[in-house]
Amino acid sequence: MGKSIFVGKDTDGLDQVLLLNKANRHGLIAGATGTGKTVTLQILTEGFSKAGVPVFCADVKGDLSGLSQPGSVSHKLHDKLLSRAAKIGLDDYRYSAMPVIFWDLYSKQGHPIRATISEMGPTLLARLMDLNPTQEGILTIAFELADDEGMLLLDLQDLRALLNYISDHKKEISREYGNVTSQSVAAIQRSLLTLEREGAEEFFGEPALKLADLMRVNGNGKKRGDGNDGLTLDDLMQTDEAGRGIVSILAADELINSPKLYSVFLLWLLSELFEELPEVGNPDKPKLVFFFDEAHLLFDDAPDALIDKIEQVARLIRSKGVGVFFVTQNPMDIPDSVLGQLGNRIQHALRAYTPKEQKAIRAAASSFRENPNLDTEEVITDLGIGEALVSLLDEKGVPGVVGRTLIRPPASRLGPATKPERKTVIAASPVGGLYDDPINRESAYEILAAKELKAAEAAEKAAQKTEREKAKAEKSRSRSRTTTRHRTTRKKENVVIKEIKREGRLLMRREGRKIIRGILGAIIR
Ligand SMILES: Nc1ncnc2c1ncn2[C@@H]1O[C@H](COP(=O)(O)OP(=O)(O)OP(=O)(O)O)[C@@H](O)[C@H]1O
Ligand SMILES: [Mg+2]
Same domain, yes or no: 159 and 180:
yes
Cβ of 84 less than 6 Å from ligand 1: yes
Residues facing 29 on adjacent strands: 327, 346
Q: What does the H/E/C string look like for 213-282?
A: HHCCECCCCCCCCCCCCCCCHHHHCCHHHCCCECEEEEECCCHHHCHHHHHHHHHHHHHHHHHHCCCCCC
CA 40 / ligand 2 centre spacing (Å): 9
Residue 369 banded pLDDT, cuts 50, 70, 90: confident
pLDDT at 499 > cutoff 70: no
Q: Is residue 136 part of a domain?
A: yes
**Of 427, 456, 473, at which residue does a domain stop?**
427
Rounded Cα distance, 162 and 153, in Å: 9
Considering only 68-77, 132-141, 428-437, which range has the smallest mean pLDDT?
A: 428-437
CA 301 / ligand 2 centre spacing (Å): 23
**Residue 188 — φ and ψ, nearest 5°?**
-65, -40
**Of 402, 427, 452, at which residue does a domain stop?**
427
Is the preceding peptide bond at 331 cis, omega within 30 degrees of 0? no
**Of 427, 451, 483, at which residue does a domain stop?**
427
Cβ of 287 less than 6 Å from ligand 1: no
Give the pLDDT confidence score for residue 502 in this predicted structure.
55
Give helix 133-149 / helix 170-177 axis angle, nearest 10°.
Answer: 90
pLDDT in tens, 234-247: 333 333 356 889 99
Cβ of 303 less than 6 Å from ligand 1: no
Q: What is the mean pLDDT of the chain?
A: 85
Cβ of 87 less than 6 Å from ligand 1: no
Task: List, as one string, the DSSP characters of 4-63.
Answer: EEEEEEETTSPEEEEEGGGGGG-EEEE-STTSSHHHHHHHHHHHHHHTT--EEEEESSSG
Q: Is residue 484 part of a domain?
A: yes
Domain span at residue 202 reads 114-208+443-525
Same domain, yes or no: 53 and 147:
no
- CA-based torsion, 451, 452, 458, 461: positive or negative: negative
Same domain, yes or no: 450 and 399:
no
Same domain, yes or no: 35 and 53:
yes
Query: Whose atoms come closest to the Cα of 43: which ligand?
Result: 1
CATH code, domain carrying 92: 3.40.50.300
CA 346 / ligand 2 centre spacing (Å): 14
Tell me which amino acid residue 439 is.
I
Q: Is residue 437 part of a domain?
A: no
Q: Is residue 199 part of a domain?
A: yes
Q: Is residue 163 part of a domain?
A: yes
pLDDT in tens, 470-488: 888 877 765 555 444 444 4
Cβ of 33 less than 6 Å from ligand 1: yes
Same domain, yes or no: 104 and 125:
no
Cβ of 110 less than 6 Å from ligand 1: no
Cβ of 31 less than 6 Å from ligand 1: yes
Q: Is residue 302 part of a domain?
A: yes
For a substitution probing ligand 1, which of 7, 9, 28, 38 has the most ligand atoms within 8 Å of its CB?
38
Same domain, yes or no: 30 and 162:
no
Cβ of 34 less than 6 Å from ligand 1: yes
Rounded Cα distance, 50 and 27, in Å: 19
Walk across the sheet containing 322-328 and list its strands. 15-19, 4-10, 403-407, 387-391, 344-347, 27-30, 322-328, 288-292, 55-59, 247-251, 100-104, 111-112
Give the pLDDT confidence score for residue 138 in this predicted structure.
94
In the chain, the percentage of residues whose pLDDT exceeds 90 is 55
Contact 109, 420 (CB under 8 A): no
CA neighbor of 270 nearest in space, from 216, 221, 326: 326
Rounded Cα distance, 422 and 413, in Å: 13
Same domain, yes or no: 388 and 280:
yes
Same domain, yes or no: 258 and 269:
yes
Is pLDDT larger for residue 498 or for residue 341? 341
Query: What is the pLDDT averaged over residues 13-22?
Result: 97
Same domain, yes or no: 196 and 217:
no
Query: What is the pLDDT averaged over residues 104-130?
Result: 91
CA 415 / ligand 1 centre spacing (Å): 9
Cβ of 256 less than 6 Å from ligand 1: no
Q: Is residue 338 part of a domain?
A: yes
- Per the structure, the count of domains in the chain is 2
CA neighbor of 176 nearest in space, from 135, 147, 153: 147
Q: Is residue 432 part of a domain?
A: no
Give the pLDDT confidence score for residue 339 in this predicted structure.
93
Task: Give me Rg for the CA atoms of the chain.
Answer: 28
Same domain, yes or no: 286 and 360:
yes
CA neighbor of 523 nearest in space, from 240, 294, 315: 315
pLDDT at 221 > cutoff 50: no
Query: Whose atoms come closest to the Cα of 81: which ligand?
Result: 1
| Helix locations, 367-409, DSSP H | 376-382
Spell out a b/e string for 16-37, using b for 16 or more CB atoms within 10 Å of the CB, else e: bbbbbbbbbbbbbbbbbeebbb
Q: Which ligand 1 atom sits closest to the C-alpha of 39?
A: 18
Strands 288-292 and 344-347: what pairing? unpaired
Same domain, yes or no: 163 and 243:
no
Same domain, yes or no: 168 and 214:
no
Considering only 22-36, 418-432, 437-451, which range has the smallest mean pLDDT?
A: 437-451
CA 385 / ligand 1 centre spacing (Å): 7
Residue 320 banded pLDDT, cuts 50, 70, 90: very high
